[in-house]
């Protein structure tokens, strides 16, 4: 379940929402056996997470998630949706009092992108994508957007690449700062070709850029794979973390299906006063409605502190 697969799925589903919503939009009645108490933290669902229970329309999935206690969404492929659908999602979230989590800046969709080269071409592409992202954020009430600076440029020394990334990101941070928006840089484990891989590396880049509009996206699935020791690393990087994502390892599924003690991590984040979104960027072990009910139970168990 690499990022490209999440994006492909979101784009395909997003393209079908407008035509499918008239057929599938219904008033979802909450299962009376489910706890509807709001969760202690802002866990953010993604499109398709409750499609078996609420139907394929993302708007209906959002309403259903809200009815059972979830308070946020995230949508990697938001920039690929139509402006009309972006606005509809934003209006729905506002009416329900829900939070919009990250979407991926289109610049970051292609794994071959490369700010590490230091070329003007990539700098210009990044600036253009940030300007477009501002308009998407306005329609969706978003604050955070995911940025991945690209692959290693193997012909350049590591510190030169780091300098190029810092120089390339600064103009984007300046654009976003004018609108009180935040790019969150995501270290990843999908492939060893990706330049950004560790929390301390990302911390140093954020410190160098020195902007409230450039922070860390601490994806706990990737960080478990790349470095472990998560609670300690979260504390060390705390002042530069802007957003979290969830996924157990191995498998990248819901909490409780792998080796990560999400109960303790969520308790720790809550005690530190974290008020942002924790994106549920993972799949489900089970299929169908039963798998969705198991996911809900997994979050109730992990959030029970």
How far is CA 232 from its chain centroid? Answer: 22
- Tell me whether residue 93 is in a domain: yes
pLDDT grade for 38, boundaries at 50, 70 and 90: very high
CA–CA gap between residue 244 and residue 160 (Å, rounded): 28
- Tell me whether residue 65 is in a domain: yes
C-alpha distances in Å from residue 136, one per residue of 57, 164, 177: 20, 27, 15
Q: DSSP state, 148?
A: -
- Tell me whether residue 25 is in a domain: no
pLDDT grade for 237, boundaries at 50, 70 and 90: very high
- Tell me whether residue 28 is in a domain: no
Q: Which domain holds residue 289?
A: 3-19+35-302
Q: What is the mean pLDDT of the chain?
A: 91
- Tell me whether residue 79 is in a domain: yes
Range 88-108 average pLDDT: 95
- Tell me whether residue 24 is in a domain: no
Instruction: Report the Cα–Cα distance between both ends of the chain, in Å, rounded.
Output: 29
CA–CA gap between residue 183 and residue 142 (Å, rounded): 11
- Tell me whether residue 29 is in a domain: no
CA–CA gap between residue 271 and residue 75 (Å, rounded): 27
Span 167-213, pLDDT tens digits:
999 999 999 999 999 999 999 999 999 999 999 999 999 999 999 99
Give the CATH number of the domain where residue 45 resides.
3.20.20.150
Range 212-236 average pLDDT: 98
pLDDT above 90 for 125: yes
For residue 68, give the nearest of 88, 49, 94 by alpha carbon. Answer: 49
- Tell me whether residue 165 is in a domain: yes
pLDDT above 50 for 134: yes
pLDDT grade for 32, boundaries at 50, 70 and 90: low
pLDDT at residue 109, rounded to an integer: 66
Range 283-299 average pLDDT: 98
Contact yes or no for 256/79 (Cβ under 8 A): no
The answer to whether the predicted template modeling score (pTM) of the entire model surpasses 0.85 is yes
- Please give the tally of structural domains in the chain: 1
Contacts of residue 10, defined as CB under 8 A and 6 or more positions apart, other chains included, come to 46, 47, 48, 75, 76, 77, 78, 80
pLDDT above 70 for 158: yes
pLDDT above 70 for 25: no
pLDDT grade for 86, boundaries at 50, 70 and 90: very high
pLDDT above 90 for 33: no
């Amino acid at each position: 379940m690499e990022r490209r697969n999440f994006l492909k799925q979101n784009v395909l589903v997003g393209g079908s929402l407008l035509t499918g919503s008239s057929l599938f939009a219904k008033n979802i009645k909450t299962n009376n056996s489910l706890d509807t108490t709001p969760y202690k933290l802002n866990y953010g669902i993604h499109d398709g997470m409750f499609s078996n229970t609420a139907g394929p329309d993302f708007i209906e999935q959002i309403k259903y998630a809200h009815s059972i206690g979830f308070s946020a969404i995230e949508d990697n492929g938001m920039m690929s949706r139509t402006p009309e659908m972006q606005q509809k999602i934003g209006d729905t979230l506002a009416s329900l009092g829900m939070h919009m989590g990250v979407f991926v800046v289109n610049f970051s969709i292609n794994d071959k992108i490369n700010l590490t080269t230091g070329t003007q071409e990539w700098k210009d592409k990044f600036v253009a994508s940030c300007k477009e992202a501002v308009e998407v954020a306005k329609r969706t009430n978003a604050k955070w957007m995911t940025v991945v600076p690209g692959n290693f440029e193997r012909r350049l020394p590591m510190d030169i690449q780091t300098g190029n990334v810092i120089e390339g990101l600064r103009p984007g941070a300046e654009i976003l700062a004018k609108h009180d928006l935040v790019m969150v840089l995501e270290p990843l484990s999908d492939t060893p070709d990706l330049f950004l891989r560790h929390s301390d590396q990302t911390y140093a880049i954020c410190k160098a850029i020195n902007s409230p509009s450039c922070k860390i996206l601490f994806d706990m699935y990737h960080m478990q794979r790349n470095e472990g020791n998560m609670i300690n690393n979260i504390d060390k990087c705390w002042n530069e973390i802007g957003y979290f994502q969830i996924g157990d390892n191995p498998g990248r599924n819901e909490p409780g299906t792998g080796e990560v003690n999400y109960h303790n991590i969520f308790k720790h984040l809550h005690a530190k006063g974290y008020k942002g979104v924790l994106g549920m960027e993972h799949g489900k072990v089970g299929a169908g409605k039963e798998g969705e009910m198991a996911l809900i139970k997994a979050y109730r168990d992990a959030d029970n502190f």
